Protein backbone atom coordinates (compact mmCIF):
# COMPACT_ATOMS: atom_id res chain seq x y z
CA UNK A 1 0.00 0.00 0.00
CA UNK A 2 1.54 3.33 -1.05
CA UNK A 3 0.38 5.24 2.06
CA UNK A 4 1.11 2.61 4.71
CA UNK A 5 3.81 4.80 6.31
CA UNK A 6 2.00 8.13 6.08
CA UNK A 7 2.87 10.19 9.14
CA UNK A 8 6.16 8.38 9.78
CA UNK A 9 9.32 10.51 9.82
CA UNK A 10 12.70 9.01 8.94
CA UNK A 11 16.12 10.63 9.16
CA UNK A 12 18.77 9.19 6.84
CA UNK A 13 22.28 10.45 7.56
CA UNK A 14 25.42 10.16 5.44
CA UNK A 15 28.71 11.91 4.87
CA UNK A 16 29.15 13.89 1.66
CA UNK A 17 31.35 11.24 0.05
CA UNK A 18 31.84 7.49 0.10
CA UNK A 19 28.19 6.49 0.45
CA UNK A 20 27.11 3.13 -0.96
CA UNK A 21 24.50 4.27 -3.50
CA UNK A 22 21.93 1.49 -3.09
CA UNK A 23 22.12 1.59 0.69
CA UNK A 24 21.13 5.26 0.51
CA UNK A 25 18.71 5.34 -2.39
CA UNK A 26 16.74 2.13 -1.91
CA UNK A 27 15.57 2.75 1.69
CA UNK A 28 15.16 6.49 1.11
CA UNK A 29 13.08 6.09 -2.05
CA UNK A 30 11.06 3.17 -0.62
CA UNK A 31 10.13 5.11 2.51
CA UNK A 32 9.02 8.10 0.45
CA UNK A 33 7.06 5.94 -1.99
CA UNK A 34 5.15 4.45 0.95
CA UNK A 35 4.14 7.78 2.46
CA UNK A 36 6.88 8.51 5.00
CA UNK A 37 8.63 11.85 5.27
CA UNK A 38 12.26 10.85 4.75
CA UNK A 39 14.99 13.47 5.12
CA UNK A 40 18.57 12.90 3.94
CA UNK A 41 21.00 14.99 6.01
CA UNK A 42 24.78 15.41 5.80
CA UNK A 43 27.50 17.15 7.84
CA UNK A 44 28.20 19.73 5.12
CA UNK A 45 26.05 21.60 2.64
CA UNK A 46 26.48 20.44 -0.92
CA UNK A 47 26.23 17.32 -3.01
CA UNK A 48 26.89 13.73 -1.99
CA UNK A 49 29.09 11.50 -4.12
CA UNK A 50 27.84 7.93 -3.98
CA UNK A 51 29.77 4.79 -4.88
CA UNK A 52 28.99 1.28 -6.09
CA UNK A 53 30.67 -1.52 -4.15
CA UNK A 54 32.80 1.04 -2.32
CA UNK A 55 35.19 1.75 -5.20
CA UNK A 56 33.31 2.85 -8.33
CA UNK A 57 31.93 6.38 -8.41
CA UNK A 58 28.19 6.44 -9.01
CA UNK A 59 25.56 9.17 -9.03
CA UNK A 60 25.77 12.50 -7.24
CA UNK A 61 22.77 13.31 -5.06
CA UNK A 62 21.63 16.45 -3.30
CA UNK A 63 20.79 16.05 0.42
CA UNK A 64 17.79 17.75 2.00
CA UNK A 65 19.45 19.24 5.08
CA UNK A 66 22.62 19.56 7.13
CA UNK A 67 23.03 17.74 10.44
CA UNK A 68 23.35 20.95 12.45
CA UNK A 69 19.79 21.90 11.44
CA UNK A 70 18.31 18.52 12.46
CA UNK A 71 16.63 17.62 15.76
CA UNK A 72 16.19 13.99 16.77
CA UNK A 73 12.83 14.86 18.36
CA UNK A 74 11.42 15.52 14.88
CA UNK A 75 11.94 11.93 13.66
CA UNK A 76 10.75 8.41 14.41
CA UNK A 77 13.73 6.42 13.10
CA UNK A 78 17.39 6.98 12.26
CA UNK A 79 18.79 5.19 9.18
CA UNK A 80 22.55 4.88 8.63
CA UNK A 81 23.60 3.62 5.17
CA UNK A 82 27.01 2.08 4.63
CA UNK A 83 30.05 2.70 2.52
CA UNK A 84 33.43 2.44 4.21
CA UNK A 85 34.48 6.07 3.70
CA UNK A 86 30.97 7.34 4.43
CA UNK A 87 30.74 5.85 7.90
CA UNK A 88 34.41 6.45 8.69
CA UNK A 89 33.68 10.16 8.17
CA UNK A 90 30.41 10.01 10.14
CA UNK A 91 32.02 8.41 13.16
CA UNK A 92 34.43 11.34 13.53
CA UNK A 93 31.59 13.86 13.11
CA UNK A 94 30.51 14.92 16.61
CA UNK A 95 27.04 15.91 15.43
CA UNK A 96 26.40 12.52 13.81
CA UNK A 97 27.55 10.70 16.95
CA UNK A 98 25.41 12.97 19.12
CA UNK A 99 22.31 12.38 16.98
CA UNK A 100 22.77 8.60 17.24
CA UNK A 101 23.02 8.91 21.02
CA UNK A 102 19.89 11.09 21.13
CA UNK A 103 17.85 8.49 19.26
CA UNK A 104 19.06 5.78 21.63
CA UNK A 105 18.33 7.84 24.77
CA UNK A 106 14.81 8.50 23.46
CA UNK A 107 14.24 4.78 22.84
CA UNK A 108 13.72 5.38 19.13
CA UNK A 109 14.68 2.80 16.50
CA UNK A 110 18.01 2.98 14.70
CA UNK A 111 18.65 1.06 11.47
CA UNK A 112 22.21 0.60 10.18
CA UNK A 113 23.48 -1.45 7.26
CA UNK A 114 26.92 -2.65 6.16
CA UNK A 115 29.50 -0.30 7.75
CA UNK A 116 26.72 1.76 9.37
CA UNK A 117 27.16 0.12 12.81
CA UNK A 118 30.61 1.77 13.02
CA UNK A 119 28.77 4.98 13.95
CA UNK A 120 27.01 3.14 16.78
CA UNK A 121 30.28 1.68 18.03
CA UNK A 122 31.69 5.22 18.16
CA UNK A 123 28.54 6.42 19.94
CA UNK A 124 29.14 3.71 22.57
CA UNK A 125 25.62 2.27 22.30
CA UNK A 126 26.14 -1.31 21.09
CA UNK A 127 27.07 -2.86 24.46
CA UNK A 128 24.60 -5.65 25.17
CA UNK A 129 23.01 -5.45 21.71
CA UNK A 130 22.81 -8.24 19.14
CA UNK A 131 23.58 -7.08 15.62
CA UNK A 132 25.08 -7.81 12.26
CA UNK A 133 27.13 -5.68 9.85
CA UNK A 134 29.63 -6.03 7.04
CA UNK A 135 31.85 -8.88 8.21
CA UNK A 136 34.95 -6.71 8.66
CA UNK A 137 33.24 -4.89 11.57
CA UNK A 138 32.76 -8.08 13.58
CA UNK A 139 35.78 -7.47 15.82
CA UNK A 140 34.81 -3.83 16.39
CA UNK A 141 31.32 -4.87 17.47
CA UNK A 142 32.66 -7.56 19.81
CA UNK A 143 35.23 -5.17 21.29
CA UNK A 144 32.36 -2.76 22.00
CA UNK A 145 30.59 -5.54 23.95
CA UNK A 146 28.03 -6.23 21.25
CA UNK A 147 27.04 -9.71 20.05
CA UNK A 148 27.71 -10.13 16.31
CA UNK A 149 25.79 -12.67 14.23
CA UNK A 150 25.76 -13.39 10.49
CA UNK A 151 22.16 -12.92 9.29
CA UNK A 152 20.49 -10.81 6.57
CA UNK A 153 18.66 -8.71 9.13
CA UNK A 154 18.78 -8.60 12.93
CA UNK A 155 16.37 -6.78 15.23
CA UNK A 156 17.58 -6.21 18.78
CA UNK A 157 15.46 -4.94 21.68
CA UNK A 158 18.12 -5.12 24.38
CA UNK A 159 18.69 -2.03 26.53
CA UNK A 160 15.26 -0.57 25.79
CA UNK A 161 15.68 0.60 22.19
CA UNK A 162 15.18 -1.15 18.85
CA UNK A 163 18.18 -1.70 16.57
CA UNK A 164 17.85 -3.06 13.03
CA UNK A 165 21.02 -4.11 11.22
CA UNK A 166 21.96 -5.79 7.94
CA UNK A 167 25.22 -6.91 6.32
CA UNK A 168 25.45 -5.54 2.76
CA UNK A 169 23.43 -4.34 -0.27
CA UNK A 170 22.17 -7.88 -0.92
CA UNK A 171 20.18 -7.61 2.31
CA UNK A 172 18.39 -4.39 1.34
CA UNK A 173 14.92 -5.97 0.83
CA UNK A 174 14.98 -7.44 4.34
CA UNK A 175 16.49 -4.27 5.80
CA UNK A 176 13.92 -1.96 4.23
CA UNK A 177 10.99 -4.14 5.21
CA UNK A 178 12.26 -4.36 8.79
CA UNK A 179 12.35 -0.54 8.98
CA UNK A 180 8.80 -0.39 7.62
CA UNK A 181 7.60 -3.01 10.11
CA UNK A 182 9.16 -1.03 12.96
CA UNK A 183 7.46 2.19 11.89
CA UNK A 184 4.11 0.45 11.36
CA UNK A 185 4.30 -1.17 14.80
CA UNK A 186 5.11 2.20 16.39
CA UNK A 187 2.13 3.80 14.62
CA UNK A 188 -0.17 1.02 15.83
CA UNK A 189 1.08 1.40 19.40
CA UNK A 190 0.49 5.16 19.33
CA UNK A 191 -3.01 4.66 17.93
CA UNK A 192 -3.77 2.12 20.67
CA UNK A 193 -2.52 4.48 23.38
CA UNK A 194 -4.62 7.26 21.89
CA UNK A 195 -7.73 5.05 21.90
CA UNK A 196 -7.10 4.02 25.49
CA UNK A 197 -6.79 7.63 26.62
CA UNK A 198 -9.89 8.78 24.73
Q: Helices in 66-144 by DSSP H: which ranges?
A: 84-90, 94-105, 117-122, 138-143
At residue 7, φ and ψ (nearest 5 deg) are 100, -20
Which of 114, 135, 168, 177 is the catalytic position?
A: 114
The answer to whether the beta carbons of residues 140 and 122 sit under 8 Å apart is: no
Which of 34, 40, 115, 168 is the catalytic position?
A: 115
Rounded-to-integer distance, Cα 103 and Cα 76, Å? 9
135 tagged catalytic? no
Helix (H) or strand (E) segment spanning residue 155: strand 153-156
Rounded-to-integer distance, Cα 50 and Cα 63, Å? 12
Rounded-to-integer distance, Cα 62 and Cα 166, Å? 25
Start-to-end C-alpha separation, the chain: 28
Rounded-to-integer distance, Cα 3 and Cα 8, Å? 10
Active site residues: 114-115
Amino acid sequence: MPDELRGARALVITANIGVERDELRIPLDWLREHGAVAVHATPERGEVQTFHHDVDKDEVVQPDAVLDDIEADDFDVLVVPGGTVNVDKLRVCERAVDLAQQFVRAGKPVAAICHGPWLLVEADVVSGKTLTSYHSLRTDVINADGRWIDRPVVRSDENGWPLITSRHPGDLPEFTHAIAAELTAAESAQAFIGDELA
